[in-house]
Structure formats: C-alpha cells, structure tokens
C-alpha cells in the first residue's frame, strides 16, 4: 500500500488562498497541519481571520479530519484557538485516536505575551487502516524557545513525552511536524533511533521560507525545523520540499511511502 503524505505549518492561514489552490490541484492520502487557528487568534506573528479547520474541511471533501486544540486565545476565547490537524482519505478507517499533551494549558494564552514557553502543545495521533494494513500517523508542533534552534530544557522536557509515546507504538508510523529545533538537537536525534528522519536523509538545509518569514534576516541562511519521520519498514518512494509555492512562512513537505 502506498501513502502520499503532505505536511505544513500553515501559519494560521495567512496565505490560505495559496494553500487552497495547491490542495485543489494535488491529491494526498494523508495531510498534516500545524498552526491551525480559529477566528480571532492573535499573538506573536499570528493574526487569523478564518477558522482554518473548517476551511480545510471545505476543500478536502474526500477526506475526514480531526483537530487537536492545544490552547485557546485570550483575544477571542470563544473562537480563537491553536492546534494540530490531520486529514485522511475516506478510503481509510479510523481505528483509534489519541491526543498527547506535551504542555497542558487550561486558561487562554494572552495575546500580548512576548515569551512562548507556556504555549499549549500537543501531538495528535491516529491509528488508520486500509486493506487490513494498520499504521499510525502523528502530527505535532513542538515548543519554541525565542527563535533559537538549540533545544532548551523546557523543550526537552516536553519533547520527551512525545518520544516516550513513539517508543510504544506497535504499528508502522509516520511522525510529522514543526519541531522548532534543528536536526542536530537531542530530541530529533533520539527520535531517529525509532524511525528514519527524511528531512535529514534527504539532506534538507532549510524549511523556512525566506520570502515570507518575518525574522528571516536574523536566521538566514535558515535551517530545517520541519520533519517527517517514517518507520524503517516503510519504503520511501519520494520526498520533496515545496520551496517554490510559498504557502506559509514554512515550506511544505511531501513524501510517498509504501508499506
């Protein structure tokens, strides 16, 4: 069975019309999104005027979707949210789902905050099946530490929860996300013990869009912080960084694997 996978930090739909056009022209079995935001979500460089999850559902009519909200936003706590989402083609059956809380935040995040250590973080994990073949797909957005690519202690503490979960997965799995650290950092290296890091294996040097990222002058020539990991029993047929589509301040990643 082949799986065609799409991964993107969608920047709260800042360039949603570009995302919409791309998805209408390209077919994927599994799509993973981070920075999925609701109407009125406003902090840092995020200012969302749409409900990203609902808009994605309108485009991906042949897919089912799940959203894992990691926090609500103080600017509009009724509709302002942040989270991760996975969409899967309706040919696949959902067998089970789990949200792994990496940092649980119970109150809305303040829109005026300058530090993002206490942003709610989670990972969404779905167990899917088709033709009696089961696999797990995980989407996550890991903690940010002031724009540095060096993993900080509070990040490591959260990331270890994800690693512990990955270690116990019984099926072949795919892990995608914006990790906010580069491939040399401890948690990325440790995850590489349990699955193939395609971002590293394909020698990706940067996943941040220099045309759209507002802090590009501080971080150029960039570095890879967006990842796809796949179980080693999966055969990788294709891997691409979409560095010319400008869908977000991050580049989208795509891969086709066979299991």
pLDDT exceeds 70 at position 11: yes
In the chain, the percentage of residues whose pLDDT exceeds 90 is 84
Q: What is the pLDDT of residue 222?
A: 92
pLDDT exceeds 80 at position 116: no
Q: Are strands 173-178 and 133-141 parallel, antiparallel or unpaired?
A: parallel
Mean pLDDT of 211-233: 94
CA angle 57, 61, 63 (to 5 degrees): 85
pLDDT exceeds 80 at position 111: no
pLDDT exceeds 80 at position 109: no
pLDDT exceeds 80 at position 101: yes
For the chain, the average pLDDT equals 94
Mean pLDDT of 138-152: 90
Residue-wise pLDDT for 240-255, tens only, equals 999 999 999 999 999 9
Q: Tell me which residue of 225, 255, 218 sits closest to 239, measured CA to CA.
A: 255
DSSP assigned state of 141: E
Tokens 């994927």 belong to which residue? 28
- For 217, phi then psi, to 5°, come to -60, -25
Residue-wise pLDDT for 45-75, tens only, equals 788 999 999 999 999 999 999 999 999 988 7
Structure tokens at 86: 């996975």
pLDDT exceeds 70 at position 216: yes
User: Contact 235/259 with Cβ under 8 angstroms?
Assistant: yes
Q: What is the pLDDT of residue 63?
A: 98
pLDDT exceeds 90 at position 32: yes
Identify the bridge partners of residue 145 per DSSP, sorted by sequence position. Answer: none
In the chain, the percentage of residues whose pLDDT exceeds 70 is 98
Output the pTM of the full model: 0.97
User: Contact 65/57 with Cβ under 8 angstroms?
Assistant: yes
pLDDT exceeds 90 at position 108: no
Q: Which of 35-49, 71-85, 192-206 has the highest mean pLDDT?
A: 192-206
Structure tokens at 170: 């019984």
Q: What is the pLDDT of residue 114?
A: 67
pLDDT exceeds 90 at position 178: yes
| 2-258: CATH topology | Deoxyribonuclease I; Chain A (3.60.10)
DSSP assigned state of 226: E
Q: What is the pLDDT of residue 147?
A: 66
pLDDT band, residue 1 (cuts 50/70/90): very high
Q: Tell me which residue of 160, 175, 79, 170 sits closest to 124, measured CA to CA.
A: 175
User: What are the residue ranges spanned by the domains of the chain?
Assistant: 2-258
Alpha helices in the chain (DSSP H): 16-25, 52-59, 153-167, 186-191, 198-201, 216-219
Integer Cα distance of 34 and 32 in angstroms: 7
pLDDT band, residue 107 (cuts 50/70/90): confident
């Amino acid at each position: 069975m082949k799986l065609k996978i799409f991964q993107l930090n969608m920047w709260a739909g800042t360039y949603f019309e570009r995302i919409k056009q791309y998805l209408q022209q390209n077919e994927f079995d599994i799509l993973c999104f981070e920075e999925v935001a609701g109407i009125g979500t406003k902090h840092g460089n995020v200012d969302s005027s749409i409900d990203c999850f609902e808009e994605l559902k309108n485009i991906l009519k042949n897919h089912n979707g799940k959203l894992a909200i990691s926090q609500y936003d103080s600017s509009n706590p009724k509709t302002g949210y942040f989270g991760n989402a996975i969409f899967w083609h309706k040919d696949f059956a959902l067998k089970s789902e789990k949200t792994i809380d990496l940092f649980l935040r119970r109150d809305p995040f303040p829109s005026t905050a300058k530090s993002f250590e206490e942003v709610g973080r989670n990972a969404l994990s779905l167990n899917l099946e088709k033709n009696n073949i089961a696999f797990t797909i995980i989407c996550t957005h890991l903690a940010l530490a002031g724009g540095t690519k060096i993993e900080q202690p509070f990040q490591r503490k959260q990331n270890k929860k994800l690693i512990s979960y990955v270690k116990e997965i019984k099926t072949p799995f795919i892990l995608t996300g914006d990790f906010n650290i580069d491939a040399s950092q401890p948690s990325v290296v440790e995850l590489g013990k349990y699955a193939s890091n395609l971002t590293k294996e394909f020698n990706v040097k940067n996943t941040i869009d220099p045309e759209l990222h507002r802090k590009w002058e501080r971080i150029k020539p960039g570095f890879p912080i967006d990842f796809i990991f796949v179980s080693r029993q999966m055969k990788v047929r294709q891997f691409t960084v979409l560095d010319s589509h400008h869908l977000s301040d991050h580049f989208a990643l795509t891969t086709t694997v066979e299991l």
